[in-house]
Structure 1
């Protein structure tokens, strides 16, 4: 469930970058997670938990680029070989972190306003403001992984 929240955060950050691709001054804030989100990434964790017979007990931002999610099953564990556990519910907790995969240097002062920085991710993206038909996908821009 934490990964679902992290992936939603990644998708929103990538969307913000796409909306501001022609404004490289905003890129540092976007890649650093210092932007206002359009929706709550915890809602995605709630949806995934419900699909898996569980519910989110807690979902909190952990810094600008992470979420801690705690879930509990909707049904008790049931009869097991361990006496007394039939009425207990399974719980889990995890932290997902989003990390930028890209770095960039602003173009030199001589470059002019119509030159975009080169994104250096696992591959380099030479961005042409007059031809933005091929842009990186969210997973090219940001990595999502469990941290705890």
Structure 2
């Protein structure tokens, strides 16, 4: 009887080893999936930050050409060809701050709604022993931010000399801004009223 019990135990041991190995494999696989999901979320955060940074930088750079458009009463012309300049440089900085690298930054002019789309690649890899090739797998993500002009306006020629002296802007949410091209207010005080920046699904 004792010999038979020992034999049964000997036969059960390989099964036990296989079960433990299987559970270990599943644990490593779940860990790899969890890490991949975390890296994907991190990459998406970096993409969002980079797109917003580029759009906000573009809005800051609108000051000189926008005021010039007021002088010539050509706001519509400005809106159809908004200048982006070096806005994508800010995108790289924010991507790097979020442990990612900027793969592309594409501004697109769209009249009252200009977009900047960025794509980033995370720097960390999944690097799981149970997933072949994961040591080279990095998360990528894309985000699009919009710079949107959201105002109606009217202008006044005080001197009847053909030059518009004051522009009155009525914007979303009932916010208002008054700009005299000859002595414009600080751009920081009116740019966020005139131009909204936010992420969008594209």
Question: Aligning the two structures, in what range does the TM-score lie when normalised by the shorter sequence?
Answer: 0.7 to 0.9
Residues 123, 57 of structure 1: alpha-carbon distance in 2 compared, 3 angstrom cutoff: same
Preserved CA contact (<8 Å) 2:122 2:139: yes
Could you tell me which runs of 5 or more consecutive residues in structure 1 were left unpaired when the two chains were aligned: none
RCO higher in structure (CA 8 A, sep ≥6): 1
Match of 1:66 among 112, 115, 134: 115
Preserved CA contact (<8 Å) 2:179 2:185: no
Preserved CA contact (<8 Å) 1:46 1:56: yes
Instruction: Provide the aligned C-alpha RMSD in A.
Output: 2.9
Q: Which residue of 2 aligns with 1:77?
A: 126
Q: By how many angstroms is 1:54 displaced?
A: 0.8
Q: Which residue of 2 aligns with 1:23?
A: 71
Preserved CA contact (<8 Å) 1:14 1:141: no
Matched, 1:34 2:67: no
Report how many residues are paired: 143
Preserved CA contact (<8 Å) 1:104 1:117: yes
Q: Which residue of 2 aligns with 1:125?
A: 177
Bigger share in helix:
2
Residues 14, 140 of structure 1: alpha-carbon distance in 2 compared, 3 angstrom cutoff: farther
Q: What SS does structure 1 have at the residue aligned with 2:138?
A: coil
Could you tell me which runs of 5 or more consecutive residues in structure 2 were left unpaired when the two chains were aligned: 1-49
Q: Which residue of 2 aligns with 1:54?
A: 100
Residues 133, 40 of structure 1: alpha-carbon distance in 2 compared, 3 angstrom cutoff: closer
Distance 1:132 1:41 in 2: 23
Distance 2:185 2:108 in 1: 35
Preserved CA contact (<8 Å) 1:24 1:116: no
Q: If you compute each CA radius of gyration, which structure gives the higher value, 1 or 2?
A: 2
